[in-house]
Structure 1
């Protein structure tokens, strides 16, 4: 499916998401965030009955081009919000994840990339890819087939690239020949890997320059098992590590994709991911956390729900002051 058709399909499904997700807000009520027990997998918080808030199109933009995150009353731009987004995808690279990785490469990312740029006020984004092993926690610049040769010349992709989809497809076909994890459950810690990637020594070494003070951080962590940090950490500690990289909890959006229960789902088997669900819960108090049930498939819908939080977060973005 080409990007135009994929985006059209994504937009057509905005109002009525497939999968078992909760509603996107009806009759002016805000739907529950997609944490455990909060309205089902990937539940959204749209206002006024559409996915991204009241407005004239699926992204919550009013008829006059105003930003609809606050009911369509904005002035057309995020004057006090973010214009840039930094996205990190961390993917469990176990053999059981082949279907999920293929969906991410071929369907989900192209549509997500376009949808990000369609949010009013956002000018650009950059994206980095990790596997779920934090040893080492450097961003991936090669895939199984070889070097990805990002046009940015950096270990991440820029939305201005003329071959952004191809670059992501290369990096998301994850090469793990340089990892030091044993594969005995220590390579299934995607959120922990992102935290490590954004902290010294990696944040000041291989990944230096990725985080921008004026950019919203979006973390997408996906596994068909559970978050299993080594050494063991409480989920609140991982939340705090991610927030510390941006200085403010409202500046981080976290999407956890895993099994709500043990299941045989659209992408094969998945274990109940209790810790991942708890981690998402630590972000939901600020409406920055979403959980998507891997058992239901439709990863594109999980990222669609995350866009709700991204738009709201951009309107409330607090720039870092050095």
Structure 2
């Protein structure tokens, strides 16, 4: 899907989810209804509330109603306010098996570029940082190179900063996953994206290669994708994986948003075959009580729509963000 077309899709989702107080979108197993906006009816705006064709707000205001004549805000409307979330830390974990080529291409070339822009368009968010790793936690190091070589992030760290002048190119490099250094055997122990993220945020990796990635004043967003299922080695229940993420954020469950992407059933979908991701769905359900978990069905394709749902959760989480002290 071309970027402009995706923007239109994102707009439609946000108008329903944010501006109109509707349900949390299609194809999500769990999550919260959208927060009601101040009302529709802006004049002269394009699909994102702008004038003159600017897809991200232009003179008419941003997509979350922070200006005049916005598509979701009405003339002079005021958008939702953030109670403290100004920063977001995002970790993408991608199953790097050969059957995942279509999904990786979509994430790299379509989903992330639009997601990066839309994330900064959420009212109150000033910046984000993003890290990429594959689905093997041995080692759980953030990737600083792709199959073509070193990515040379402008941050000088093992993650990307939104201030980079080439954030899209950096992500595309890292998302072209290099995994020749992994120690997994390939016998299903390399099919554990959520577990790999949890390990990356814990010692020893959080004290060495990935040190200082997590910020106390940032929301943690985890995106885990596989066309099989989450298969922790050694075996671990979804609740235990959930608790590891929460512990990484100082015990504040509402400071974590989790998007699990996998097959809702065994299927032959837009991106090829997918097995039912039962453990992934159960992991998403552990976040449902706080309206922080979303599941997207690979059988339906359209990963960009899955990220649209996640953006809604991110906005709500930012409104309820609780900075940690210790």
TM-score interval, smaller chain: 0.7 to 0.9
CA contact (8 A) 2:67 2:78 kept: no
Paired with 1:74 and 1:224, the residues of 2 have a C-alpha distance of: 41
| 1:255-281 Cα distance to aligned partner (Å, 9 max, x none) | 000000000000000000000000000
Name 1:285's counterpart in structure 2.
289
Equivalent residues in 2 for 1:63-78, closer than 5 Å = 63=67, 77-78=81-82
**Match of residue 127, structure 1, among 124, 127, 130:** 130
CA contact (8 A) 2:21 2:33 kept: no
Query: TM-score when scaled to structure 1?
Result: 0.86
Paired with 1:175 and 1:294, the residues of 2 have a C-alpha distance of: 23
Paired with 1:171 and 1:64, the residues of 2 have a C-alpha distance of: 39
CA shift, 1:30, in A, is 3.9
Name 1:204's counterpart in structure 2.
207
Paired with 1:296 and 1:53, the residues of 2 have a C-alpha distance of: 32
RMSD: 2.7
Paired with 1:197 and 1:65, the residues of 2 have a C-alpha distance of: 44
Paired with 1:110 and 1:32, the residues of 2 have a C-alpha distance of: 21
Name 1:309's counterpart in structure 2.
313
CA contact (8 A) 2:38 2:78 kept: no
| Secondary structure in structure 1 of the residue aligned to 2:188 | coil
CA contact (8 A) 1:142 1:170 kept: yes
Q: Is there any run of 5+ residues in structure 2 with no aligned partner, and where?
A: 43-48, 50-61
Name 1:264's counterpart in structure 2.
268
Paired with 1:290 and 1:76, the residues of 2 have a C-alpha distance of: 22
Name 2:33's counterpart in structure 1.
45
| Secondary structure in structure 1 of the residue aligned to 2:325 | coil
**Residue 162 (str. 1) matches residue 165 (str. 2):** yes
| 1:115-156 Cα distance to aligned partner (Å, 9 max, x none) | 000001100000000100000000000110111110100000
**Residue 192 (str. 1) matches residue 195 (str. 2):** yes
| 1:70-127 Cα distance to aligned partner (Å, 9 max, x none) | xx9867752x221000000000000000000011111000000000000011000000
CA contact (8 A) 1:53 1:60 kept: no
Q: Is there any run of 5+ residues in structure 1 with no aligned partner, and where?
A: 18-22
CA contact (8 A) 1:226 1:271 kept: yes
CA shift, 1:236, in A, is 0.2
CA contact (8 A) 2:229 2:279 kept: yes
**Residue 10 (str. 1) matches residue 6 (str. 2):** yes
Query: TM-score when scaled to structure 2?
Result: 0.85
| 1:208-252 Cα distance to aligned partner (Å, 9 max, x none) | 010001000000000000000000000000000001101200000
CA shift, 1:65, in A, is 9.8
| Secondary structure in structure 2 of the residue aligned to 1:242 | helix
Name 1:93's counterpart in structure 2.
96
Paired with 2:32 and 2:178, the residues of 1 have a C-alpha distance of: 34
| 1:23-70 Cα distance to aligned partner (Å, 9 max, x none) | 74897454479654x5xxxx762245xxx885665843254599x99x
Figure out how many residues of one structure are paired with residues of the other and give that number.
301
CA shift, 1:161, in A, is 0.6
Name 1:20's counterpart in structure 2.
none
Name 2:59's counterpart in structure 1.
none
Name 1:318's counterpart in structure 2.
322
